[in-house]
Amino acid sequence: MNGGESTARPSTVGDTWMRFWFSPAPVRPLAIIRILTGILGLLLAWSYADDLQAWFGPAGMIPRDVAAEWRPRWGVSLYDAATTSASVTALFAATVVAFSCLVVGLGSRLAAVAGAVLWASLLHRGPMLAGPADDCLSVLLWCLAVGPCGGDLALDRMLAARAGRAPPAATPWASVALGLLRVHASAIVLAAVLAQLKGDAWWNGTAAWWLASRAGAVDLREAYLGSEYLMNLVSHAIVAFEILFAVGIWFTPVRRTVAAVGLVAWPLIGLLAGEPLWGAAMAIFAVAALLGKPDTGT
Amino acid sequence: MARAAKNATPRSPATEPGEAVRAGVTVALAAYLVGLVLAIATNSLSGSSALLGTVKSRLFSPLLVPAWLDLGYDHRFTYGLDEDADHELELVPHGGAAEPLQLPGAVAGERAARWRRLARTIAVGGLDGDGSPVAAGVGRGGFARLGTTDVDLRVFRLPQPERTAAADAAAEQVVAARIRRVADDVQLIREEPRGEVAPLVRQPSAAAEGSR
């Protein structure tokens, strides 16, 4: 049972599983994702700020009973207990503080858990207002809560260094968090592709036209009027890239290339689709695939 | 190399989880991944099977739903259908000639997108379906903003002209309702399209005329 025999042994599913989830990974990638997620959280929270009372205040347009009726069974919200304007504002302010703590890395893991709980509460308070970027932020926050996201590029790290504590080594918990991020990146994109391919527009190449008609999207209709092929190319390129990303991030030889392309492609797709913050969220998932540990066993 | 190694910041030793912890995390991860697959399978636009729906709701929903993780991620963006068009809201005091409150109005970005999702919920749900309570809630919220207890709510679907069609088309009104407070109750009165409420008057046929 020497080392040579051990390395020559064919890799089993169990080995691959253990290597993927538990081989130690550095904490810096998770720290970068923490900062980007915090910024995304602040941007999405900002979109609620001006209308917070108009929607969720005591005389708001989305009364608590309507939200409770709309959300699925088991859906709960801390905002259900917020019956005054001040309490609604306080809960929202706590959400903003949690996201700010993620950006600077103060109490990072606690901030990730608090941010995830408060964000889910906000979305459950008005489920009909939630969009694709909100879903992705929720996933990012829960994944950050799993790993040591404050181990680098953080005030937590500075305070620990001042107290004489050495920076954390590579850890399996970072590996679990980065692994979950990659699994979700693939799952989210595959689900989106499957949904898109149920519609004719994504097969006959007119989807780009309809996307350009949406408010908030980059209006390329003039260009598409000039060239039907361009419109078809953009429609098919979106689907092709999504499939490439969902599959490619699982193959070591192309993973970093696909993820690097994703850093540019996702924001572009977000702009074309009129969902720029969704594009930004997907780019954060691409960062996880780009910076994640290389030895996945695939 | 030696100097680099000497100057490198010492790292705290990695804390390797024990076998029991790894086993526990493995079980938790496997269970979560099954939940993720079920969430995607049961939140699809195509509906879900009773089997998968039951398994998910019994085993996974109590954890996934509160965390906002029971999601289908079916981000299709558009099929080019009417319901994929942008929707906007308008609130105005009933019968009055006051300036309507238009939402999202002049605001842009994600904030405007949230107002459009709210308007779409009312329109696509329809006033006979799930959109009714939302419409009533929006109208109720409009009381304070408009300084009245009787408002008209309208939802407009913005034009989505075909690539081959003329570009200039008007927004289509898809929902119209009156929402008012009477005593402590909020009433929603749907405004039927004119064709649905107008009495149908048949032209008398020649035979009927002759029999008289």
Tens of pLDDT along A284-298?
999 999 998 765 443
Instruction: Indicate if B123 and B189 belong to the same structural domain.
Output: yes
Collapsing DSSP to helix, strand or coil, B154 comes out as strand
Instruction: Indicate if A180 and A78 belong to the same structural domain.
Output: no
Instruction: Indicate if B178 and B99 belong to the same structural domain.
Output: yes
Instruction: Indicate if A126 and A200 belong to the same structural domain.
Output: no
Domain of B116? 82-196
Using the 3D structure, point to which of A161, A180, A197 is the last residue of a domain: A161
In a domain, B126, yes or no: yes
Instruction: Indicate if A148 and A207 belong to the same structural domain.
Output: no
Determine if residue A275 is left, alpha or beta; phi over 0 gives left, psi from -120 to 50 gives alpha, anything else beta. beta
Name the domain count of chain B. Answer: 2
Contact flag B12-A120 (C-beta cutoff 8 Å): no
Instruction: Indicate if A139 and A180 belong to the same structural domain.
Output: no
The count of CB pairs under 8 A between chains A and B is 219
Q: Nearest chain B residue to A275 by CA: give it.
A: B110
Please list every residue in chain A whose beta carbon sits closer than 8 Å to the beta carbon of residue B141.
54-55, 59-63
Instruction: Indicate if B186 and B93 belong to the same structural domain.
Output: yes
**Calpha distance B66→B141 (Å, rounded):** 26
Listed in sequence order, the residues at least 6 apart from B115 whose beta carbon sits closer than 8 Å to its beta carbon are A51, B88, B89, B103, B104, B107
**Calpha distance B68→A127 (Å, rounded):** 10
Q: Nearest chain B residue to A170 by CA: give it.
A: B14
Q: Is the pLDDT confidence value at A99 over 90? A: yes
Task: Note whether B152 and B104 are within 8 A (CB).
Answer: no
Name the domain count of chain A. Answer: 2
Average pLDDT of A174-186? 97
Instruction: Indicate if A29 and A157 belong to the same structural domain.
Output: yes
Instruction: Indicate if B91 and B34 belong to the same structural domain.
Output: no
Task: Note whether A234 and A208 are within 8 A (CB).
Answer: yes
Return phi, psi of residue A295, to 5°. Answer: -85, 90
Among A38-52, A229-243, B53-67, B182-196, which is the least confidently predicted range? B182-196
Contact flag A128-B77 (C-beta cutoff 8 Å): no
Report pLDDT for B191: 81
**pLDDT-above-70 percentage for chain A:** 95
Report pLDDT for B1: 42
Q: Is A141 on the interface with B (CB under 8 A)?
A: no
Contact flag B66-A120 (C-beta cutoff 8 Å): yes
Instruction: Indicate if B64 and B96 belong to the same structural domain.
Output: no
What pLDDT band is residue A4 in, cutting at 50, 70 and 90? very low
Q: Tell me the two tokens of residue A138.
A: 């929720």
Report pLDDT for B45: 83
In a domain, A44, yes or no: yes
Average pLDDT of A175-203? 97
Our CA-based measurement puts residue B197 at a distance from the nearest CA of chain A, in whole angstroms, of: 29
Contact flag A21-B17 (C-beta cutoff 8 Å): no
Using the 3D structure, point to which of A161, A181, A196 is the last residue of a domain: A161
Minimal Cβ distance to A169: which of B14, B25, B36: B14
Instruction: Indicate if B96 and B32 belong to the same structural domain.
Output: no
In a domain, A6, yes or no: no
Using the 3D structure, point to which of B29, B57, B75 is the last residue of a domain: B75
Q: Tell me the two tokens of residue A106.
A: 């103060």
In a domain, B12, yes or no: no
The 10s digit of each residue's pLDDT in A48-78 is 999 999 999 999 999 999 999 888 999 999 9
Our CA-based measurement puts residue B211 at a distance from the nearest CA of chain A, in whole angstroms, of: 56
Report pLDDT for A3: 41
Q: What is the sign, positive or negative, of the torsion defined by CA atoms of A95, A100, A103, A109?
A: negative
Residue of A12 and A176 predicted with greater confidence: A176
Q: Is the pLDDT confidence value at B180 over 90? A: yes
Q: Is A175 on the interface with B (CB under 8 A)?
A: no
Among A95-104, A186-195, A221-230, B186-195, which is the least confidently predicted range? B186-195
Average pLDDT of A175-185? 97
Residue of B188 and B169 predicted with greater confidence: B188
In a domain, A116, yes or no: yes
In a domain, B96, yes or no: yes
**pLDDT-above-90 percentage for chain B:** 55
Contact flag A61-B118 (C-beta cutoff 8 Å): yes
The 10s digit of each residue's pLDDT in B1-49 is 444 444 556 666 666 778 899 999 999 999 999 999 999 999 988 888 9
Q: Is the pLDDT confidence value at B69 over 70? A: yes
Instruction: Indicate if A93 and A34 belong to the same structural domain.
Output: yes
Q: Is the pLDDT confidence value at A276 over 50? A: yes
**Calpha distance A275→B109 (Å, rounded):** 9
DSSP symbol at B101: E
Please list every residue in chain B whose beta carbon sits closer than 8 Å to the beta carbon of residue A134.
68
Q: Is the pLDDT confidence value at B186 over 80? A: yes
What pLDDT band is residue B198 in, cutting at 50, 70 and 90? low
Using the 3D structure, point to which of B54, B75, B96 is the last residue of a domain: B75
In a domain, B204, yes or no: no
Using the 3D structure, point to which of A142, A161, A180 is the last residue of a domain: A161
Instruction: Indicate if B92 and B191 belong to the same structural domain.
Output: yes
- C-alpha angle with apex A156: A154 to A157, nearest 5 degrees? 70
Instruction: Indicate if A176 and A271 belong to the same structural domain.
Output: yes
Instruction: Indicate if A176 and A156 belong to the same structural domain.
Output: no
Q: Is the pLDDT confidence value at B80 over 80? A: yes
Report pLDDT for B131: 82
Q: Tell me the two tokens of residue B49.
A: 């099977």
In a domain, A4, yes or no: no
In a domain, A177, yes or no: yes
Instruction: Indicate if A229 and A122 belong to the same structural domain.
Output: no
Which amino acid appears at position A97 of this protein? V
Our CA-based measurement puts residue B112 at a distance from the nearest CA of chain A, in whole angstroms, of: 8
Residues forming a β-bridge with B172 = B157
Q: Nearest chain B residue to A210 by CA: give it.
A: B80
Instruction: Indicate if B59 and B95 belong to the same structural domain.
Output: no
Which helix (H) or strand (E) is B188 found in, with range? strand B185-190
Our CA-based measurement puts residue B110 at a distance from the nearest CA of chain A, in whole angstroms, of: 6
Instruction: Indicate if A210 and A137 belong to the same structural domain.
Output: no
Q: Nearest chain A residue to B60 by CA: give it.
A: A74
Contact flag A73-B130 (C-beta cutoff 8 Å): no
Instruction: Indicate if A178 and A266 belong to the same structural domain.
Output: yes
Instruction: Indicate if B62 and B24 belong to the same structural domain.
Output: yes
Report pLDDT for B161: 82
Instruction: Indicate if B31 and B98 belong to the same structural domain.
Output: no
Listed in sequence order, the residues at least 6 apart from A177 whose beta carbon sits closer than 8 Å to its beta carbon are A30, A143, A144, A146, A147, A149
The 10s digit of each residue's pLDDT in B97-124 is 788 899 999 999 999 999 999 999 999 8
Listed in sequence order, the residues at least 6 apart from A115 whose beta carbon sits closer than 8 Å to its beta carbon are A38, A41, A95, A98, A99, A101, A102, A141
Please list every residue in chain A whose beta carbon sits closer than 8 Å to the beta carbon of residue B69.
138-139, 142
Q: Nearest chain B residue to A128 by CA: give it.
A: B118
Name the nearest CA neighbour of A269 among A215, A225, A208.
A208
Domain of A246? 171-298
Supply the mean pLDDT for chain B: 84
Instruction: Indicate if A143 and A33 belong to the same structural domain.
Output: yes
**What is the rounded radius of gyration, in angstroms, for the C-alpha atoms of chain B?**
28
- Calculate the CA A145 to chain-centre distance: 13
Instruction: Indicate if B53 and B157 belong to the same structural domain.
Output: no
Minimal Cβ distance to B78: which of A166, A180, A211: A211
Contact flag B78-A76 (C-beta cutoff 8 Å): no
